[in-house]
Amino acid sequence: MTALPTSNPAANGNRRRMNLFGILLALFALCMSSYFLIKFPDLYRLFCRAIGVQTNPNNAAVIAAPSKHSGRFIDVLFEGAKDASLPVHFYPDQPVVRLEIGTDATNVYHFKNVSDHAVSFRPVHQISPIAAARDFGLKLCFCFANQTIPAGETRDFPVIFTFGADLDERINTVTLRYTLFEISADAPLTEEQKRIQEGLLGPGAIVSPGAATHAPPAPAATPAAGGKP
């Protein structure tokens, strides 16, 4: 056996204690950071927004901004897709909505359950180009909750949305797409939907009062309406 680089036992002990302390500190930091990330998911979202990844349809700042005429118009194209097996027929009332940036616009999606049993599905929102997502605010949407449509019935779900004034000047066409995925009637909400629902029900609601009133019964706005046939 060769001599270790440090042969002074006292120095060795010191070093070991320091090492142990460092390792414990690192472990503690790891645990704490995991805890905070889980406890406060907004931290993660803040990070995402900071680096330019906007994953959710709701930009609270855009929604909260007062309506203002900007004189700039863009086209919003609507489309829908679903699993081939899902017995729901749905389409946007208007495939193209011309919207003045800074003001709200409304479109309605018509749904019809073409089967003889109640159907539950989860609508997933997509927006393109992704650069538009940051300045997009969705005030009311059926994608805020999972939806159930009883056998043979129809539903009209409004979509109320707006764009912030910061929207890239070169964007003049935005596409919104809703994809329906079949789920069981008691499937839980996704994290995103939960967050939106909390916002809807709690203080600082994302849906502006104005939007909520001129919306029809708004089955999407409350989970109860969407959840029970």
| Cβ closest to other proteins, residue 3 vs residue 224 | 3
Query: Which pair of structure tokens corresponds to residue 43?
Result: 């931290």
Q: Is 81 in the site for other proteins (CB under 8 A)?
A: yes
Interface stretch with other proteins, choices 51-59, 99-107, 201-209, 220-228 (CB under 8 A): 51-59
Please count the CA atoms within 13 angstroms of the CA of 87 that sit on its side-chain side: 12
Q: Hey, what amino acid is at 56? A: N
| Residue whose CB is less far from other proteins, 148 or 208 | 148
Query: Residues with Cβ < 8 Å from 58, sequence gap 6 or more?
Result: 137, 138, 196, 199, 206
Among 17, 150, 172, 229, binds other proteins (CB under 8 A): 172
In the block, tokens 């109860």 appear at 224
Contact flag: residue 108 with other proteins (CB under 8 A): no
Q: Does 177 bind other proteins (CB under 8 A)?
A: yes
Q: Tokens in use for 47?
A: 């990070």
Q: Which amino acid is at 15?
A: R
Task: Name the one range near other proteins by CB under 8 A: 23-31, 140-148, 176-184, 209-217.
Answer: 176-184
Residue closer to other proteins, measured from CB, 157 or 211: 157
CB of 34 to other proteins, least distance (A): 13
Q: Angle at the Cα of 145 (from 141 to 151), degrees rounded to 5?
A: 100
- Residues touching other proteins, count (CB under 8 A): 35
Radius of gyration of the chain (CA): 25
What's the CA gap between 63 and 77, in Å, rounded?
A: 20
Residues that bind other proteins (CB under 8 A): 2, 4-5, 51-53, 77, 79, 81, 91, 94-96, 110, 122, 124, 126-131, 168, 170-173, 175, 177, 179, 181, 183, 190-192
